[in-house]
Homo-oligomer: A and B are copies of this chain.
Amino acid sequence: MKINKYEDISQIEKEAKKDYIDRHSAFIHCEDTAKAGEKFKVKVKIGDEYKHPDDFDHYIQWVQLWDRENMLAQTTFSAGAQGNEPANVEVDFYIVPKKNAKLIAQAFCTKHGLWQSDEKVLTIE
Protein backbone atom coordinates (compact mmCIF):
# COMPACT_ATOMS: atom_id res chain seq x y z
CA MET A 1 0.00 0.00 0.00
CA LYS A 2 1.40 3.31 -1.00
CA ILE A 3 2.14 5.87 1.67
CA ASN A 4 2.59 9.33 0.23
CA LYS A 5 5.36 11.27 1.94
CA TYR A 6 5.76 14.99 2.33
CA GLU A 7 7.57 16.79 -0.46
CA ASP A 8 8.88 20.33 -0.38
CA ILE A 9 6.57 22.06 -2.83
CA SER A 10 8.98 24.94 -3.40
CA GLN A 11 10.91 22.40 -5.46
CA ILE A 12 7.89 21.54 -7.56
CA GLU A 13 7.16 23.53 -10.68
CA LYS A 14 3.68 22.67 -11.81
CA GLU A 15 0.95 24.52 -9.95
CA ALA A 16 -1.47 21.58 -10.05
CA LYS A 17 1.14 19.29 -8.51
CA LYS A 18 2.08 21.83 -5.83
CA ASP A 19 -1.59 22.04 -4.92
CA TYR A 20 -2.09 18.25 -4.94
CA ILE A 21 0.93 17.58 -2.73
CA ASP A 22 0.41 20.45 -0.32
CA ARG A 23 -3.31 20.06 0.31
CA HIS A 24 -2.85 16.40 1.30
CA SER A 25 0.27 16.79 3.40
CA ALA A 26 0.00 16.39 7.16
CA PHE A 27 1.94 19.01 9.13
CA ILE A 28 2.79 18.78 12.81
CA HIS A 29 2.86 22.12 14.60
CA CYS A 30 4.30 22.04 18.12
CA GLU A 31 7.13 23.27 20.29
CA ASP A 32 10.52 21.58 19.92
CA THR A 33 10.82 20.81 23.62
CA ALA A 34 8.47 19.67 26.36
CA LYS A 35 8.64 19.14 30.08
CA ALA A 36 8.40 15.53 31.22
CA GLY A 37 4.97 14.71 32.61
CA GLU A 38 3.34 17.98 31.52
CA LYS A 39 0.51 18.41 29.06
CA PHE A 40 1.79 19.25 25.59
CA LYS A 41 -0.19 20.50 22.60
CA VAL A 42 0.35 18.99 19.16
CA LYS A 43 -1.56 20.52 16.29
CA VAL A 44 -1.95 18.45 13.16
CA LYS A 45 -3.04 20.43 10.14
CA ILE A 46 -3.57 19.12 6.64
CA GLY A 47 -2.20 21.40 3.97
CA ASP A 48 -0.36 24.66 4.36
CA GLU A 49 -0.80 26.92 1.32
CA TYR A 50 -3.61 24.98 -0.32
CA LYS A 51 -6.94 23.73 0.97
CA HIS A 52 -8.53 20.31 0.54
CA PRO A 53 -12.16 19.77 -0.51
CA ASP A 54 -14.73 18.70 2.07
CA ASP A 55 -17.05 17.02 -0.41
CA PHE A 56 -19.05 13.97 0.58
CA ASP A 57 -17.15 11.81 -1.88
CA HIS A 58 -13.77 13.46 -1.29
CA TYR A 59 -12.60 14.54 2.12
CA ILE A 60 -10.01 13.98 4.82
CA GLN A 61 -11.57 11.12 6.79
CA TRP A 62 -9.04 10.68 9.56
CA VAL A 63 -5.80 11.88 11.08
CA GLN A 64 -3.51 9.82 13.32
CA LEU A 65 -0.71 10.96 15.62
CA TRP A 66 2.13 8.52 16.25
CA ASP A 67 5.26 8.48 18.40
CA ARG A 68 7.51 6.15 16.42
CA GLU A 69 5.62 2.79 16.28
CA ASN A 70 3.08 3.81 18.89
CA MET A 71 -0.20 5.40 17.87
CA LEU A 72 -1.26 8.04 20.40
CA ALA A 73 -4.60 9.16 19.01
CA GLN A 74 -6.82 9.14 15.93
CA THR A 75 -9.48 11.66 14.95
CA THR A 76 -12.15 10.65 12.45
CA PHE A 77 -14.13 13.41 10.75
CA SER A 78 -17.53 13.26 9.11
CA ALA A 79 -17.80 14.75 5.65
CA GLY A 80 -19.32 18.20 6.03
CA ALA A 81 -17.60 19.06 9.33
CA GLN A 82 -15.69 21.69 7.32
CA GLY A 83 -18.92 23.09 5.93
CA ASN A 84 -18.48 21.25 2.62
CA GLU A 85 -16.02 23.93 1.55
CA PRO A 86 -12.27 23.56 0.95
CA ALA A 87 -10.41 23.78 4.25
CA ASN A 88 -7.26 22.93 6.13
CA VAL A 89 -8.48 20.15 8.39
CA GLU A 90 -7.03 20.67 11.82
CA VAL A 91 -7.07 19.04 15.24
CA ASP A 92 -5.15 19.77 18.44
CA PHE A 93 -4.10 16.72 20.41
CA TYR A 94 -2.86 17.03 23.97
CA ILE A 95 -0.38 14.43 25.10
CA VAL A 96 1.79 14.03 28.18
CA PRO A 97 5.26 12.94 27.06
CA LYS A 98 7.62 11.34 29.55
CA LYS A 99 10.62 10.99 27.27
CA ASN A 100 11.86 12.20 23.91
CA ALA A 101 9.44 11.47 21.10
CA LYS A 102 9.48 11.23 17.34
CA LEU A 103 6.08 12.43 16.25
CA ILE A 104 4.55 11.49 12.92
CA ALA A 105 1.09 12.33 11.61
CA GLN A 106 -0.86 10.48 8.96
CA ALA A 107 -3.93 11.66 7.10
CA PHE A 108 -6.33 9.65 4.97
CA CYS A 109 -8.06 11.21 1.97
CA THR A 110 -11.01 9.19 0.68
CA LYS A 111 -9.86 9.67 -2.90
CA HIS A 112 -6.09 9.93 -2.68
CA GLY A 113 -5.13 7.61 0.12
CA LEU A 114 -2.63 7.85 2.92
CA TRP A 115 -0.27 10.77 3.53
CA GLN A 116 2.51 10.88 6.09
CA SER A 117 4.13 13.93 7.65
CA ASP A 118 7.80 14.50 8.24
CA GLU A 119 9.03 13.28 11.59
CA LYS A 120 9.03 15.90 14.33
CA VAL A 121 11.62 15.31 17.04
CA LEU A 122 10.37 16.31 20.47
CA THR A 123 13.01 16.72 23.16
CA ILE A 124 12.31 16.58 26.87
CA GLU A 125 14.08 19.45 28.61
Residues of A within 8 A of B (CB): 1-3, 37, 39, 54-57, 61, 66, 68-85, 87, 89-98, 104, 106, 108, 110, 112-114, 116
Contacts and interface: CB of A to CB of B under 8 A. Distances in A.
Contact of A1 (B39, B68, B81): B68
Given A1-B104, A39-B90, A92-B92, A83 B98 contact: yes
- Report copies per complex: 4
Contacts of A87: 39, 96
Contact of A85 (B37, B81, B84, B108): B37
A81 B108 contact: no
Most chain B CB within a 10 A radius of its CB, from A80, A81, A82: A81
Given A56-B57, A91-B91, A96-B87, A78 B82 contact: no
